[in-house]
Homo-oligomer: A and B are copies of this chain.
Amino acid sequence: MRYIPNSPEERTEMLHQIGLRSAEELFDSIPKELLLSRNLDTPAALSEIELLAGFEQLATRNPGARRTSFLGAGAYQHYIPTIVDHIISRSEFFTAYTPYQPEISQGTLQAIFEFQTLVCQLTGMEVANASMYDGSTALAEAVLMAERVTKRSKIVACGAIHPEYLDVIDTYVQHAGIELVHAEADPVTGQTPENIAELLDDKTAALVVQSPNFFGCIEDVAALAEKAHAVGALMVVGVTEAISLGLLKSPGACGADIVIAEGQSFGVPLSFGGPYVGLFATREKYARQIPGRLVGEAYDKQGRRGFVLTLATREQHIRREKATSNICTNEGLIALASTVYLETMGRRGLQEVAAQCAQKTAYAAQRIAKLEGFSVRYTAPRFNEFVVTTPVNAKEQLSRLASERNITGGLALSRYFKDRPNDILVCVTELNSRGDIDSLVDGLQSASQS
């Protein structure tokens, strides 16, 4: 086996050296009856040539990967600068462990420190952690943290949160004695309903909102935060399309107490849903309640600056069942990819890419709105997603777009909302050219006519 340095001969010599006669003896402490007396029923070894051919073959059976796409809904196609993959492919980064030994892990540690800083800058918050599994689990952990901070047990979630995120929160809180209240989005504006305040009370730990929300509508986070704070609850803001942070007022500036985001848009391939990276930021005063790892500045005896994992007393390996979270391995390499992305795009690039998304989306929405029989839902302002109500069944419409124009036109909302058979969630990014958009518009029109 070419990944195992020691040859069979060497291994035999080593066995003898330590006084064993055969490899079987290595497993003497396992009761005989538990030893597997047959080969595993897994495939025989493949060469690189065969293996790659096999995977390439499987990949051809994912036609979805080859289409012009307007599918977003929590995972977005954006331009990824070539250097991102080059940097994260350096052995020194991708084959290192969690930086437990700071003297020989400063590369990783300094990069995480930069990641934490960038997350703070973009979200407008004071502190951020070294990453969570993804946006959905980060949001669930935010809810748990709100409960810890406020010692209250009710969570009010605005309805236009990504349905899968809501599911994850549901799972996480099911044994935590937390009451989860959903409020449906306003059918006209698409935002959190005006009367949300009625659900808030002095048991409320947090008001949770996603902005831009699942339907692409920008929420009035500042107004919501005021309402949450009025009852002493925390304002928790989730962002699934992190690129929006380049254009929209930061949640921090709107008064958020905890901000989480899915960082996939920052240089991470779609990769059928993962690995992505959860961003998690909050106020400085809650730093010791944060889940997950934190990197902080430190100095050696000679006064040289370095970085270390810090505030470890929050964590499972010290606090065990009293830890702020059970998270251990996080999304280090993906956080690094995001860091490289953010630094490469930089201040002006992040602004431009966000602006392009907004402009192209406005163009697309305006064109589609003019189509006979189509309407673009909701009055709220939007960033790069919007809901289209089509005159015919959305799934059929989408499958004709796919087969006739090689376009993935968006998400049929019926995937999550059985009562919305004619709605499509359309997402436009800087990667969709005007030609792509025009082709989508033409395709929608003709698919609905014939």
Whole-angstrom distance from the CB of A65 to the nearest CB of chain B? 15
Q: How many positions in chain A have a CB within 8 Å of any CB in the partner chain? A: 10
User: Which of chain B's residues have a CB closer than 8 A to the CB of A431?
Assistant: 49
Give bound CA distance, A90 to B87, whole Å: 10
Give bound CA distance, A91 to B87, whole Å: 10
Give bound CA distance, A86 to B86, whole Å: 10
Q: Does A187 contact B (CB under 8 A)?
A: no
Q: Is the CB of B49 within 8 A of A82?
A: no
Give bound CA distance, A273 to B82, whole Å: 26
Q: Mark A81-104, 1 if CB is under 8 A from B, else 0.
A: 110001001110000000000000
Q: Does A378 contact B (CB under 8 A)?
A: no
Q: Does A79 contact B (CB under 8 A)?
A: yes
Q: Does A10 contact B (CB under 8 A)?
A: no
User: Which of chain B's residues have a CB closer than 8 A to the CB of A81?
Assistant: 48
User: Which of chain B's residues have a CB closer than 8 A to the CB of A82?
Assistant: 48
Q: Mark A150-172, 1 if CB is under 8 A from B, else 0.
A: 00000000000000000000000
The 8 Å CB contact of A48, one of B48, B49, B79, is: B79
User: Which of chain B's residues have a CB closer than 8 A to the CB of A91?
Assistant: 90
Whole-angstrom distance from the CB of A374 to the nearest CB of chain B? 29
Q: Mark A70-84, 1 if CB is under 8 A from B, else 0.
A: 000000000101100
Most chain B beta-carbon contacts within 10 A, residue among A49, A82, A91: A49
Whole-angstrom distance from the CB of A303 to the nearest CB of chain B? 28
- CB-contacts of A23-68 with B (<8 A): 48-49
Give bound CA distance, A86 to B431, whole Å: 29
Minimal Cβ-Cβ distance residue in B for A80: B48
Minimal Cβ-Cβ distance residue in B for A86: B89
Give bound CA distance, A79 to B89, whole Å: 22
Give bound CA distance, A431 to B81, whole Å: 34
Whole-angstrom distance from the CB of A48 to the nearest CB of chain B? 6
Whole-angstrom distance from the CB of A94 to the nearest CB of chain B? 11
Minimal Cβ-Cβ distance residue in B for A91: B90
Minimal Cβ-Cβ distance residue in B for A52: B82
Give bound CA distance, A318 to B86, whole Å: 39
User: Which of chain B's residues have a CB closer than 8 A to the CB of A49?
Assistant: 79, 431
User: Which of chain B's residues have a CB closer than 8 A to the CB of A79?
Assistant: 48-49
Give bound CA distance, A294 to B79, whole Å: 45
- CB-contacts of A9-30 with B (<8 A): none
Whole-angstrom distance from the CB of A267 to the nearest CB of chain B? 13
Give bound CA distance, A86 to B48, whole Å: 15
Minimal Cβ-Cβ distance residue in B for A92: B90
Whole-angstrom distance from the CB of A396 to the nearest CB of chain B? 31
Give bound CA distance, A82 to B52, whole Å: 10
Whole-angstrom distance from the CB of A50 to the nearest CB of chain B? 10
Q: Mark A371-407, 1 if CB is under 8 A from B, else 0.
A: 0000000000000000000000000000000000000
User: Which of chain B's residues have a CB closer than 8 A to the CB of A86?
Assistant: 89
Give bound CA distance, A318 to B225, whole Å: 76
Give bound CA distance, A91 to B431, whole Å: 29
User: Which of chain B's residues have a CB closer than 8 A to the CB of A89?
Assistant: 86, 89
Minimal Cβ-Cβ distance residue in B for A50: B433
Give bound CA distance, A86 to B91, whole Å: 9
User: Which of chain B's residues have a CB closer than 8 A to the CB of A90?
Assistant: 90-91
Minimal Cβ-Cβ distance residue in B for A431: B49
Give bound CA distance, A294 to B84, whole Å: 37
Minimal Cβ-Cβ distance residue in B for A47: B79
Give bound CA distance, A81 to B52, whole Å: 11
Whole-angstrom distance from the CB of A187 to the nearest CB of chain B? 38
Q: Jot down 9 A-B pairs with beta carbons below 8 A, ordered by A.
A: A48-B79, A48-B81, A48-B82, A49-B79, A49-B431, A86-B89, A89-B89, A90-B90, A90-B91
The 3 closest A-B pairs by CB, nearest first: A49-B79, A48-B82, A48-B81
Q: Known contacts A48-B79, A48-B82, A90-B91; can you find 6 more A-B pairs with CB under 8 A?
A: A48-B81, A49-B79, A49-B431, A86-B89, A89-B89, A90-B90
